[in-house]
A = this chain, B = another copy of it.
Amino acid sequence: MSGWVVVAGLGPGKETLVTPEVTAAVDQATDIVGYIPYVARIAPREGLTLHASDNRVELDRARHALEMARDGKRVVIVSSGDPGVFAMASALFEAYEAHPEFAEIEIRILPGITAMLAAAAAAGAPLGHDFCAINLSDNLKPFELVEHRLRHAARGDFAMAFYNPRSKSRPHQFTRVLEVLREECEPERLILFARAVSTPEQRINTVTLAEATPEMADMRTVVLVGNSTTRRVGPWVYTPRGVAP
Contacts and interface: CB of A to CB of B under 8 A. Distances in A.
A140 B242 contact: yes
A224 to B, nearest CB: 10
Prevailing SS type, chain A contact patch: mixed
Given A20-B18, A107-B236, A132 B158 contact: yes
A128 B90 contact: yes
Nearest to A156: B152
Contacts of A91: 241
Interface in A1-41: 11, 14-21, 24
Residue from A58, A84, A103, A153 whose CB has the most chain B CB atoms within 10 Å: A84
Interface of A: 11, 14-21, 24, 58, 82-86, 89-94, 96-97, 103, 107, 109-114, 117-118, 120-122, 124-135, 138-142, 145, 148-149, 151-153, 155-158, 233-234, 236, 238-243, 245
A11 B158 CA distance: 24
B156 A90 contact: no
Contact of A242 (B82, B130, B141): B141
